[in-house]
Amino acid sequence: MIGNLMNRQFASCFAEYLKIRRSKVLWLTTAALCLAPVFGALFVVVLRNPSLTAGNEALKAKAAFSGFSPDWPG
């Protein structure tokens, strides 16, 4: 009884693993969630060192509108 239940549970978990492995949505979501902190850190670096973006006014404007501040409370 318990063995049969475990086999069915393992089979269903394996089927879900196969679906996740082939899904593109999972990988796109993971990439988006991993890139968000990177861009946040970039904005903080730009706010701390405005001389780095001397020629790129668009990046400077995006950093200013992000609402980040280059200090601990921010």
Q: How far apart are CA 56 and CA 36, in angstroms?
A: 20
Q: Please, which residues have CB within 8 angstroms of residue 66's CB and are 6 or more apart in sequence?
A: 40, 43
Averaged over 31-39, what is the pLDDT?
A: 90
For the cut 60, the answer to whether the pLDDT of residue 56 exceeds it is yes
Predicted pLDDT of residue 31: 92
Q: How far apart are CA 45 and CA 41, in angstroms?
A: 6
Q: How far apart are CA 74 and CA 68, in angstroms?
A: 6
DSSP letter, residue 53: G
Averaged over 13-42, what is the pLDDT?
A: 89
Both structure tokens of 8:
């069915």
